[in-house]
Amino acid sequence: MKLDAALLKKLAEDQEDEVVKIRRRLHQNPELGFEEKETGRYLAEVLEALGLEVQRGVGKTGVVALLRGGSPGKTIALRADMDALPMQEENEVPYKSQKPGMMHGCGHDAHMACSVGTAMIFSKIRKEIAGNVKFIFQPAEEAPGGARPMIEQGVLENPKVDAILGGHVWGGIDSGKVEVKPGPVMASSDIIRLKIFGKGGHAAQPHKSVDPVAIGSEIVGALQKIVSRQSDPTEAVVISICVFRAGDVFNVIPNEAYMEGTVRTLNNELRAALPEKIEAVIRGITEAFGATYELNYHKDYPVTVNDPGITESFRLSAEKILGEANVGIAAKPSMGAEDFSYFLLEIPGTYIRIGVRNLEKGICQEIHHPKFDVDEDIFKIIPAVYAQAILDLLA
């Protein structure tokens, strides 16, 4: 049996209907982060039926499946996330979510289906493979993050993983195309939670109060000076305050205000310096106006940094399946965040973008939209792309 692109494409095309069926079942039955019990059970049963060694409950609700090749070699991992979003689906399709207020609006159902499709291909050619393939189905990517608990429980060991691949469906890229990008591909994501304690009073006598609303407004504006005047203008930094709550009555200055926001960068060293700068701004303004504060700065996902060598290998592999014209290099990283970043802190790997847009079918929305959907034609090609990339890394 010759393990070439032609064989992989044929295997992927032959199993397309089954992979679509799996995707639709997953789409109809979404579950939120760390609640993916039924999703995990179903995936485990499908993978066990393929003859893989399956572990359940890794990182609470995650699933890991190991395919051992016919001879020893490296181990390459493929990661897919499992969780859905707490949003109501507005698509009218036969496979619409059956759970009110829950939807695979970020395409994780497609990620899982593509990974299962890749496992199906490898189950047919396992004797020809030198090495192992580890399929990681990770919970809670949206929040609070399932990658780190899986790593802590040894998902990258026994056998030790040499490299890891992952991908995300992308509503702005046409179906049949993929994009790669070496280096930073997605931003870090940290959370600011701030309470400002002032002194309440009558709105007509502000001089007798310490107004946390006015102070908070000064802080919102001053934080942008960190972006424009304290950061290298060639480095991406985002500080967005998205929650600002204070008061209940139109003519009463409240005692306190609450603010919440996100901080994002594409540089882990810059990320490490921002908390001190942000607190210095908050401290200076609150002290100047006679208020106090309580800051909770939560470090969430790190920057997702693709290994240049693995990324180039993936690009060449994808061209074997899709053709050079359908494999692009992303012009810009995304300021969205991904906990796939934790895997890349441990081992080299790459995270790609998978095109799912098909204007003729009316599939044109971006992720997190209530009418987001994917062109199901991807299920006859992306498993072959992943399989080729893994085989090339095992070689």
Last-in-domain residue among 274, 301, 328: 301
- Shared domain for 117 and 10, answered yes or no, is yes
Asked if residues 155 and 342 have their Cβ atoms less than 8 Å apart, the reply is no
Please count the structural domains in the chain: 2
- Shared domain for 276 and 319, answered yes or no, is no
How would you classify the pairing of strands 334-337 and 327-329? unpaired
- Shared domain for 312 and 353, answered yes or no, is yes
Residues 6+ apart with CB under 8 A from 390: 76, 78, 118, 122, 133, 165
- Shared domain for 57 and 47, answered yes or no, is yes
**pLDDT tens sequence across 354-365:** 999 999 999 999
Confidence of residue 107 (pLDDT cuts 50, 70, 90): very high
The catalytic residue positions are 301, 376
- Shared domain for 317 and 350, answered yes or no, is yes
- Shared domain for 165 and 43, answered yes or no, is yes
Confidence of residue 314 (pLDDT cuts 50, 70, 90): very high
Which whole number is the average pLDDT over 99-117? Answer: 98
Cα–Cα distance between 389 and 165 in angstroms, integer? Answer: 9
- Shared domain for 34 and 49, answered yes or no, is yes
Confidence of residue 24 (pLDDT cuts 50, 70, 90): very high
Asked if pLDDT for residue 382 goes beyond 90, the answer is yes
Asked if pLDDT for residue 1 goes beyond 90, the answer is no
- Shared domain for 283 and 328, answered yes or no, is no
CATH code (residue 308): 3.40.630.10
Cα–Cα distance between 342 and 350 in angstroms, integer? Answer: 12
User: What is the percent of the chain where pLDDT is above 90?
Assistant: 99
Asked if pLDDT for residue 260 goes beyond 90, the answer is yes
Last-in-domain residue among 267, 301, 335: 301
Confidence of residue 342 (pLDDT cuts 50, 70, 90): very high
Which whole number is the average pLDDT over 298-315? Answer: 97
**pLDDT tens sequence across 128-161:** 999 999 999 999 999 999 999 999 999 999 999 9
Domain that holds residue 36: 5-186+302-394
**pLDDT tens sequence across 153-175:** 999 999 999 999 999 999 999 99
SS3 of residue 18 by DSSP? helix
Confidence of residue 311 (pLDDT cuts 50, 70, 90): very high
**pLDDT tens sequence across 48-97:** 999 999 999 999 999 999 999 999 999 999 999 999 999 999 999 999 99
- Shared domain for 349 and 240, answered yes or no, is no
Amino acid at 56: R
Asked if pLDDT for residue 99 goes beyond 90, the answer is yes
- Shared domain for 181 and 193, answered yes or no, is no
Which whole number is the average pLDDT over 27-49? Answer: 98
Q: How many CA atoms lie within 13 A of 228 on its CB side?
A: 5
Last-in-domain residue among 301, 322, 351: 301
The dihedral through the CA atoms of 152, 154, 160, 163 has a sign that is negative
Confidence of residue 313 (pLDDT cuts 50, 70, 90): very high
Amino acid at 110: A
- Shared domain for 293 and 340, answered yes or no, is no
Q: In what order do the strands lie in the sheet with 304-306?
A: 304-306, 183-187, 334-337
CATH code (residue 219): 3.30.70.360
- Shared domain for 31 and 104, answered yes or no, is yes
